[in-house]
Structure 1
Amino acid sequence: MKKRWMKKAAASALMAVMTVSLIGCGSVKMTTKGTEDSTRDTTVKMLSSSDVVGKETNEKLETIQGILDKNFYFEEDEQAKQDGIIKGYMEGLDDPYSVYYTAEEYASFMEDTEGEYVGVGVQVSQAADTKTITVTKVFDGPAKDAGIEEEDIITKVNGEDISDQDLDTVVDKIRGEEGTDVTITIYRATDAKDHEYTMPRKKVENPTVEYKMLDNNIGYVEVSSFYEVTADQYIAAVKDLESQGMEGLIVDLRNNGGGLLDIAVEMLDYMLPEGKIVYTKDKDGNIIDEYNSTDDEQFTKPLAVLVNGYSASASEIFAGAIKDYGIGTLVGTNTFGKGIVQRMFPLDDGSAIKVTIAKYFTPKGNDIHKVGIKPDVEVELDSDAYRESKGEKDNQLQAAIDNILEKLGKKTADSTEDSSTEDTADSKDEKADSNDDSTESSTTETGTSEN
């Protein structure tokens, strides 16, 4: 798809924030593959190990290695030790979004952004304070077949307690070679019991966009992440719904932890009038990038956007722009609040580091980091009714439907009853190719990923 949006201050493609990781569906973490900024010096100064860690630390490492050589019982894995040193070095930054990827982890990450990977087919998120990892979405695949459900809490992988491990580490444990088995233990609050499921790892496509026509000619588009295929899928979905006679649109970004920045921008260019979409600033307050929409196309029908506490990064860029321009109504609960941007720096051996380089701001200049975006219509999900009905009773979706009906002048006492489940058509987008840059999202309070 031809990019219609404009980018000022040609800088490197920035990694947008993302909190979701897909286990077997692609990672909901998001980072942008960066093209280097021709206006800035991005040369990495080569330093000796003593320059980096200091003489005392270098001597301490040598002392430790001497102790290991004489006393360690098991066989040493030199590569694992080196990777561990670098991971620890990055952890010393005290930024959960600045991390080191081994060559294998980086390859897996890049696979995720393409919307397909080997896993079990769930989206998960992690609370930064407790490190609790919760299943936020289950796609068609091994996990769904095994019986894993939304809101299950993952406690063990292959019998190993993962309660103190970060999201990336757990995702890597769940993923693996196609055809091999993985055992996942979860805690389910509905029966207050632990459940253990063993399932095969399979190649899974991440269905980033699903759509259907609801009653009263209201289109519904669910976007689970912002991957390379998503913009084409989203625009195709909206156009198809319009061809079916759509009068209003609901975009569901709940549990969407983010993805590729450029993809969110491309989707917004299709929706917004000409003007600013999002811009980023470095630590000195200098504008790095500014993304602007063109006047080629603009969505003018009644619009509502569903958000919740797991809507992060690229989702917040989308929601923030819609709110600032006043072209749609945000419905749900406060968003995650990840307003920082990361860039991926590939290294010569196939590994990479992801580094926080900037904050992003909505068109009106709002800084949403650790704050999130407050919806126009605040509605807490009735989780009991939602779970018991297997998603059919969704009071947040119903609130969005009511909002659209009000805008259309159609709302009556009878028109909204069960309208969220009375579909007149149902369809699913097909995967399309895209060469856009990717962005990764995470947040300080929660993190999400696909596996």
Structure 2
Amino acid sequence: MKAKKNFLQGALFGALIMLCGTGVVSCGIRLSEDASSEEKLSVLKGLIDENYIGDVDEEALEEGIYKGYIQGLEDPYSVYYNEEETKDLYETTEGEYSGIGAVLSQDLESGVITLVQIYEDSPAAKAGLKDNDILTKVGDIEVTGMDLSEVVTYIKGEKGTDVDLTVLRGEDAEEITVTATRDTVEAQTVKYEMLEGQTGYLSVSEFDSVTYAQYEEALNELTAQGMTGLIVDLRNNPGGNLNTVCEMLDLVLPKGTIVYTEDKDGKRETATSDDEHQINVPMVVLVNGNSASASEIYAGAIQDYGIGKIVGTQTYGKGVVQQIFDLGDGTSVKLTIAEYFTPNGRSIDGEGITPDVEVEYEADENNPEADNQLEKALEVMKEEQ
């Protein structure tokens, strides 16, 4: 009986192996411990050529090597871009592209991607997408955890073409799939209006090449209307171009340091403001946990010079600078090259900017337009005016 039992156990185990369809097979190849990467890649290619049953895209294999090499840095901000991704990347930084008109933000710990802003009259808005929708799929591609820049390349595309997007909405995480028709979108990165008490309100959604001109126009228009105080809203602003935010700060800061960076060798580069322009009315800067990078440079400078109050919640804490390197063949790589510091020498990487007045956002179900953080900013402004 024991022998029979062992036989049955062996038969069941063998059947399980067959059902699973997996097994370990020795390939008869022995790499030395000091084998070069070229030798190992050659062995892997040989195994694929001889054994892999699927279709092989040699170009995709090569791209995978480059992407994996940069991913080995374990730096979420350093990325390799192929030709198509590089083209889309440069279009994005210019502020004009063929896409759907939505601002995306990603939580680095969970990999969750949120549509933090939908442009008015954009393809995204026409398709029914809303602020704070959680993006889960582009077409059939699961995007949670994927590099945000790569996700953007899937969303953008030729004008007139369609893209399906699946999102989770609301507390019940209702799954919704919509189809958006891509169109030429010029990022409307600045919105402004005059609020009560002649307080100017200026919202900046990102720092692109087009942002400076929009920001300068908004400041001039609000000033012409008799602005006696200014609220700059950087909530959900993921950052952008370092030069752009420095040019914008030069319009409001007194003469002095805007921000400085230090590279791996300790070499310092400093951006400064002149005394030609500076704000002469009280300021309040609104921030939250999605205010990152260039947004934190802006808020940090205003706070260090003491020319405005920071209101909201702790910012994201991205205090490092990336540079895009053109590899000469249409591809590129983005690498973290330096850490930045506020005028007073504060490093906020992993820490963020702590508001002078902390207030959590509280949604009002009875009044979707209500904004308790903005209301607090107006209260603070009244005290300063």
TM-score normalized by the length of structure 1: 0.75
Specify which of 204, 207, 216 is matched with residue 226 of structure 1.
207
Is residue 198 of structure 1 aligned with residue 179 of structure 2? yes
Pairs within 5 Å for 1:311-390: 311-382=291-362, 384-385=363-364, 389-390=367-368
Shift of 1:388: 5.6
Q: Secondary structure at the match of 2:209?
A: coil
Pairs within 5 Å for 1:109-120: 109-120=89-100
Name the amino acid aligned to 1:215: E
User: What CA distance in whole angstroms lies between the structure 2 residues aligned with 1:124 and 1:163?
Assistant: 12
Question: Which residue is 2:134 aligned to?
Answer: 153
Name the amino acid aligned to 1:172: T
Question: Which residue is 2:88 aligned to?
Answer: 108
Shift of 1:231: 1.3
User: What CA distance in whole angstroms lies between the structure 2 residues aligned with 1:256 and 1:192?
Assistant: 24
Say how many residue pairs are matched.
351
CA RMSD of aligned residues (A): 1.4
Specify which of 150, 155, 166 is matched with residue 147 of structure 2.
166
Question: Which residue is 2:220 aligned to?
Answer: 239
Name the amino acid aligned to 2:384: K
User: What CA distance in whole angstroms lies between the structure 2 residues aligned with 1:281 and 1:112?
Assistant: 26
Does structure 2 retain, via aligned residues, the 8 Å contact 1:159–1:185? no
Q: Residue by residue, what CA displacement relative to the aligned partner does 1:136-171 show, whole Å, maximum 9, x if unpaired?
A: 111121211121111111112213322342222222
Shift of 1:240: 0.7
Is residue 273 of structure 1 aligned with residue 251 of structure 2? no
Name the amino acid aligned to 1:153: I
Pairs within 5 Å for 1:9-88: 55-88=35-68
Work out which of the two has the higher radius of gyration on C-alpha atoms and give 1 or 2: 2
Is residue 124 of structure 1 aligned with residue 104 of structure 2? yes
Name the amino acid aligned to 2:237: N
Percent of aligned positions that are identical: 50
Q: Secondary structure at the match of 1:113?
A: helix
User: What CA distance in whole angstroms lies between the structure 1 residues aligned with 2:124 and 2:366?
Assistant: 19
User: What CA distance in whole angstroms lies between the structure 1 residues aligned with 2:310 and 2:221?
Assistant: 23
User: What CA distance in whole angstroms lies between the structure 1 residues aligned with 2:337 and 2:171?
Assistant: 41
Pairs within 5 Å for 1:276-287: 276-287=257-268
Q: Residue by residue, what CA displacement relative to the aligned partner does 1:70-98 show, whole Å, maximum 9, x if unpaired?
A: 23334322222111100000000111111
Q: Residue by residue, what CA displacement relative to the aligned partner does 1:178-234 show, whole Å, maximum 9, x if unpaired?
A: 211111111112343211111211111110111111121110110111111211211
Question: Which residue is 1:180 aligned to?
Answer: 161
Question: Which residue is 1:400 aligned to?
Answer: 377
Q: Residue by residue, what CA displacement relative to the aligned partner does 1:23-44 show, whole Å, maximum 9, x if unpaired?
A: xxxxxxxxxxxxxxxxxxxxxx
Does structure 1 retain, via aligned residues, the 8 Å contact 2:187–2:210? no
User: What CA distance in whole angstroms lies between the structure 2 residues aligned with 1:200 and 1:286?
Assistant: 47
Moved over 4 A (4+): none
User: What CA distance in whole angstroms lies between the structure 2 residues aligned with 1:139 and 1:389?
Assistant: 21
The structure with more helix, counted as a fraction of residues: 2
Does structure 1 retain, via aligned residues, the 8 Å contact 2:101–2:124? yes
Q: Secondary structure at the match of 1:69?
A: helix
Q: Which has the higher contact order (CA 8 A, sep 6+)?
A: 1
Q: Secondary structure at the match of 1:194?
A: strand
Does structure 2 retain, via aligned residues, the 8 Å contact 1:135–1:151? yes
User: Which ranges of structure 2 fall in alignment gaps of 5 or more residues?
Assistant: 1-33
Q: Secondary structure at the match of 1:197?
A: strand
C-alpha change, 1:352 and 1:337, in structure 2 (3 Å) is same
User: What CA distance in whole angstroms lies between the structure 1 residues aligned with 2:178 and 2:344?
Assistant: 47
Name the amino acid aligned to 2:65: I
Q: Residue by residue, what CA displacement relative to the aligned partner does 1:30-79 show, whole Å, maximum 9, x if unpaired?
A: xxxxxxxxxxxxxxxxxxxxxxxx84321121111112222333432222
Name the amino acid aligned to 2:148: L
Name the amino acid aligned to 2:312: G
User: What CA distance in whole angstroms lies between the structure 2 residues aligned with 1:192 and 1:63?
Assistant: 46
Does structure 1 retain, via aligned residues, the 8 Å contact 2:85–2:150? no
Question: Which residue is 1:310 aligned to?
Answer: 290
Does structure 2 retain, via aligned residues, the 8 Å contact 1:208–1:225? yes
C-alpha change, 1:350 and 1:388, in structure 2 (3 Å) is farther
User: Which ranges of structure 1 fall in alignment gaps of 5 or more residues?
Assistant: 1-53, 409-451
Question: Which residue is 1:419 aligned to?
Answer: none
User: What CA distance in whole angstroms lies between the structure 1 residues aligned with 2:149 and 2:366?
Assistant: 31
Question: Which residue is 1:417 aligned to?
Answer: none
C-alpha change, 1:304 and 1:126, in structure 2 (3 Å) is same
Q: Secondary structure at the match of 1:372?
A: coil
User: What CA distance in whole angstroms lies between the structure 2 residues aligned with 1:364 and 1:230?
Assistant: 26
Is residue 89 of structure 1 aligned with residue 52 of structure 2? no
Name the amino acid aligned to 1:395: N
